[in-house]
Structure formats: C-alpha cells, structure tokens
Amino acid sequence: MIRKSFNKKTLFTILLGLFFLTLAGCSAESSKSDANHSDAEKIEDKDKKVTMIFSFKSANLDPHTGFTPIRAGITETLLKLDENSNIEGWLAEKWETNDNLTWEFTIRENVTFQDGVKLDAAGVKASIERSIAVNESLGGSLKIQTMEADGQKLTIKTTEPYPALPSELVNPYVSIVNIAAEKEMGEEAFRNTPVGTGPFKVKKFTSNQEVQVVKNDSYWAGEPKIKEATIKFNEDANVRALAFQSKEADVVYNLPAEGIEAIEKDKELKVDSVPGLRSHFVLFNQQSPNVSDLKVRQALNLLIDRKSVADDIMLGHAVPANGPFNSSLPFGIEDEVAELDVEKAKELLVEAGYKENAEGKMEKDGEPLTLEFITYKARPELPLIAQLFQSDAAKAGVEITIKIVENADTHLAENTGWDLGTYSNNTSPRGDGSYFLNTAFTETGALNVGKINNPELNKVIEELNGTSDTDKRTQLTKDAANVINKEVAHSYAVYPNIIIGINERIKDWKPTAEEYYILTHTMDVN
C-alpha cells in the first residue's frame, strides 16, 4: 500500500473542501468518495492474507483430540505459556488454591464465542466435560472430581492434591469451545467447524488438506490484523520447502535442514532455527519379546549415533540428547551423552542370550534378531535417523526392517507387532516435566503406546503429582529421568531445533518454542 504524507495546509484545504461539498448536498460525489474508500479497504484487506503449511495432517478439527485448532487461532485454553514458558492467564484471568485440591478460576468478563455467545463458567465447565468424554487420556491427566460453575467463577476439585493442574490446563486438548453450538449443528459438523473464542474462525475445512480461517471481528483481545489465512497440511518436507521457495506459502514449519542454504539465497525469505522443548527419540514396544529384555534395549541404545544425527542429519540444528529433558532446563540431568559403541552392544546381546552366527548375525535358538522399526516422514529427519540406526545395528549383527507409515500415532497405538519406532514429542511444553512423564509412562497416558509399566517410575511420578514445592518437583523430575535412562524405557537421540521458513512480508510475529500459538491476532503483513 502506498502511503502519502500531507502538510497541515494541504490537509486543512481538503477537509474544508469536503465540508462545503457536504453542505451543498453533493450526494453523487459523496457516494463516489465512499466507493473509492471501500475499494481502498478491499485492496488493503486483500493483502492481509497469509498462507501457512504445517507438517501434520488433520482429519478433523476436533480441538479435544488435535492441536490444529489452537495453532490456527480458532480456540484458546484457560491458561497459556508466556515467551519464557511460564504459565499465565488466558481465558481465565486468575486462579487460586489453598490446598492444591480445590481450585477457583475467574473467567474473563469480556469474552464471547465466535457465534456471539458470552463465555462464562458454565460454558467452560461444559467444554471441559466434553474434552474428558472424547479424549480418554484427559481423565487421568486432569484428575477432576467435581466442577461447579457460578457466573464467572469455576471451582474445580481434584481427586487428590494436584499442584500440576494449572500446567495440565495449558494442554491444547482442553481448549474451550461452545458446546451449545455442537448440539445445534451436530457432532460431525462441529468436529470440522468448532466454535471457539480465538481470533480466527473456520471458513472452510478440507480433511487432511487444509483449513481456511477468517478473522473474528469481535475477538476479545483486539481486532486481528490478518483478514484471512489458509493453513495447508503436507507431510512431504521437500514439497514444503519448494512451496516456500516459490512463495506459495508465507510460513512453513519443519523445513528439511539440507534445504536451508538454497532457501536463504532469496533475500525475501528467511529461516528461523529455534531451540525447542522437543526430543527425538526411539520408542520400544514393551509388548514385543524382542525388546522386552533390558540388556537388548541397552545394546540398542548404544547403536544410536547421536553425534552423527545432530551434525550430519540435522546439520547442527540439534544437540545430542542424554535423557528426556534438555540438559539446559532446570530439571535436565547431567549424564554424559551415550556414544556409539558397536562392540559393547554385541557384548550386551551375548549377555541377553544371543550369539553371533557364521554370517555375523545375532541369533537365539536359531532365530536371527530382526526388528521392525516404524518411522514417518512428517519430520524429515526421522526416516534418516532410522536409516542411520539400521546401518549401525547391522554392524552389531542386528537386522532392522524399516516401515514408513503415514500416521505414526495411530499405527503404533493400534498395532502390537512393531519393535521400535522413531518419535518426537515436546517433553517439557509447559515449563515442567510432569506432562510428559504422565502421558508417556503411566498406564493411562495417551503417549504410552509402548505400554511401559515400571513400578519404580510410577512411584516417582505419583510423588511428583502430589508435590507443590518447586525445588522438590525439580529433583523428582530428575529422579524420573534417571529411572527412564536406567531402564532404557526410551532412547533419546537429539534435542532438535524447530526449523521454520518465514517470508519477509510477515511482521509482528515470531515462532515460539512450545509450538502451540502460531496464528495470532498480532501477526501482520507488509
């Protein structure tokens, strides 16, 4: 948009002329002026559009089973994280408890849903009840016994003293939506067009392809600067990179590291590599007899070349991992990073009852040790990690069969025949390790696809859940990480950066470590 500057004399002359035109009743000229003004607004609005590409598909927009609605600015939660991963109010302006058992949340007065219905405690209560009903894991993570709504006051009583409740209410799966709208439009339609409180509302959704959103003019925190956004889903990293280079998209998540150099040759494009709160790791299926033996898992742990993953695959956009939580965090542990050690791995396999045959393959009772390794392409480095592991495992006599699946979560949860899998998760998305510990290692945890059940670890997590003292929580989180490493419940490879392509036309926005709040009301374009 071209901006013109006027001096005071010129501005006075224009205003005076308009005044006399109005007095003269020049309705035709006035109408023409209004039309021109509208055209100018339309031109400006047309430019206020952005296109984004996310690396994961969304079959629907149910906010209680997926992250896309909060990332697309459609929904919001009671509490959120600030830039330093500290918890702050969002739809709830304040909260308090005296005993970590009874909690009182004050819901903001000036918030309406996107259909104009006022947000109150009763609406929040109904939304949370739905989230628990449709997402089984939330019952265990929220530990809610009762909820009472009175005007803007929501009182929650938990089944036990639970200091982690505010952290759990940051969870995007507990996004607040208008349940009355679901009853009007039907469950299926609502799952594709949820009515939230966010700065953007759904215009059109195409399953597994894209969602189009338009600004919510009545957004409580201020009018969004973007008029419309299209968010596309594409799990092919090379396609995402090409779309960014050709300027088909303004913001692209999870670009391949090897494509950064070519992208940055264009001065209109930039790439941000943001240290995140995520870990790339290897899952073990505890139901599989092939990896149920601790010594086998210890051996496989030594066949992950963490340095090569960080340097050669991630091209420096990651650091080797020594446990579930980044060692730079207060609750990160100080263990040394395990190095690739093929000979030690072979010794451990022998201790587990395997022997090396004439062909150099490890076998037991005449059966070679062959493992099925599940991976997926949405994060381009994960299949490469699987291939590197396959190569190093072969040196120890272990045969790895790699299977690439489209939806790793569904495949790992619904199948029992796999042995290993690459995975990536925000292990401390809320400035605290309890979320990951509860969801990845407890019996009811949504991320516990390997069916881990370790009594020692369960005891530490249970104590953590009932502890409010910050220092003690930090120590208990470290204790849990030490048990995880000792039992090789998972094998942590690297802590990756988030690699995001951003067109220079985007302004007043920057990517954040938690990966929750992407399309915001403050994002603007030149």
Residue 258 has pLDDT above 60, yes or no: yes
- Residue 513 shares a structural domain with residue 419: no
Q: Higher confidence at residue 328 or residue 464?
A: 464
In a domain, 356, yes or no: yes
- Residue 165 shares a structural domain with residue 208: no
Query: What local confidence, expressed as pLDDT, does residue 42 receive?
Result: 47
Q: What is the CATH number of the domain that holds 360?
A: 3.10.105.10
- Residue 345 shares a structural domain with residue 255: no
- Residue 350 shares a structural domain with residue 459: yes
Q: What is the mean pLDDT of residues 404-413?
A: 91
List, for residues 100-148, the tens digit of each pLDDT value: 999 999 999 999 999 999 999 999 999 999 999 999 888 888 999 999 9
Give the 3-state secondary structure of residue 92.
strand
Q: What is the DSSP letter of 423?
A: E
- Residue 216 shares a structural domain with residue 98: no
- Residue 341 shares a structural domain with residue 471: yes
Residue 458 has pLDDT above 90, yes or no: yes
330 backbone dihedrals φ, ψ, rounded to 5°: -60, -30
Paired strand residues for 107: 92
pLDDT confidence of 19, banded at 50, 70, 90? Answer: very low
Q: What is the mean pLDDT of residues 194-203?
A: 98
Distance of CA 366 to the CA centre of its chain: 44
Helix (H) or strand (E) holding 23, with range, is helix 8-23
- Residue 295 shares a structural domain with residue 437: yes
Q: Higher confidence at residue 209 or residue 435?
A: 209
Mean pLDDT, the chain, integer: 90
pLDDT confidence of 289, banded at 50, 70, 90? Answer: very high
Helix (H) or strand (E) holding 389, with range, is helix 381-395
In a domain, 398, yes or no: yes
- Residue 372 shares a structural domain with residue 490: yes
Contact between 471 and 294 under an 8 Å Cβ cutoff? The reply is no
Helix (H) or strand (E) holding 27, with range, is helix 27-47
Instruction: Please state the three-class secondary structure of 477-500 as a single string.
Output: HHHHHHHHHHHCCEEEEEEEEEEE
**Which of the residue ranges 37-41, 291-295, 355-359, 361-365 would you say has the lowest mean pLDDT?**
37-41
Query: What local confidence, expressed as pLDDT, does residue 432 receive?
Result: 83
Residue 364 has pLDDT above 50, yes or no: yes
176 backbone dihedrals φ, ψ, rounded to 5°: -95, 125
Q: Domain span at residue 328?
A: 278-496
Q: Higher confidence at residue 179 or residue 6?
A: 179
pLDDT confidence of 439, banded at 50, 70, 90? Answer: confident
- Residue 375 shares a structural domain with residue 459: yes
List, for residues 222-252, the tens digit of each pLDDT value: 999 999 999 999 999 999 999 999 999 999 9
Residue 18, token pair as written in the block: 């308009």
In a domain, 236, yes or no: yes
Domain count, the chain: 4
Query: What local confidence, expressed as pLDDT, does residue 25 receive?
Result: 40
Q: What is the CATH number of the domain that holds 260?
A: 3.40.190.10
Distance CA 67, CA 326 (A): 23
Query: What local confidence, expressed as pLDDT, does residue 165 receive?
Result: 93
- Residue 168 shares a structural domain with residue 111: yes
In a domain, 414, yes or no: yes
Q: Where are the beta strands (DSSP E) in 185-277?
A: 200-206, 210-215, 228-233, 251-253, 269-275
Residue 221: how many other CB atoms lie within 10 Å: 16
Percent of the chain residues past pLDDT 70, beyond the cut: 91
- Determine the Cα angle at 327 with ends 323 and 330, to 5°: 115
Q: What is the mean pLDDT of residues 388-402?
A: 98
In a domain, 332, yes or no: yes
Helix (H) or strand (E) holding 348, with range, is helix 342-351
Give the 3-state secondary structure of residue 126.
helix
Distance CA 132, CA 142 (A): 9
Q: Cβ neighbours of residue 40 under 8 Å, at least 6 residues apart?
A: none
Q: What is the mean pLDDT of residues 216-224?
A: 97
- Residue 357 shares a structural domain with residue 333: yes
List, for residues 469-508, the tens digit of each pLDDT value: 989 999 999 999 999 999 999 999 999 999 999 999 999 9
pTM of the model: 0.82
Query: What local confidence, expressed as pLDDT, does residue 445 receive?
Result: 83
List, for residues 22-46, the tens digit of each pLDDT value: 333 433 443 444 444 444 444 456 6
Instruction: For residue 108, give the amino acid letter.
Output: R
Query: What local confidence, expressed as pLDDT, does residue 4 receive?
Result: 33
Distance CA 341, CA 435 (A): 32
Token look-up 């374009």 returns: 525
In a domain, 477, yes or no: yes
In a domain, 56, yes or no: no
Question: Where among 129, 146, 181 does a domain terminate?
Answer: 181
- Residue 253 shares a structural domain with residue 118: no
Residue 418 has pLDDT above 90, yes or no: yes
- Determine the Cα angle at 381 with ends 287 and 394, to 5°: 60
In a domain, 423, yes or no: yes
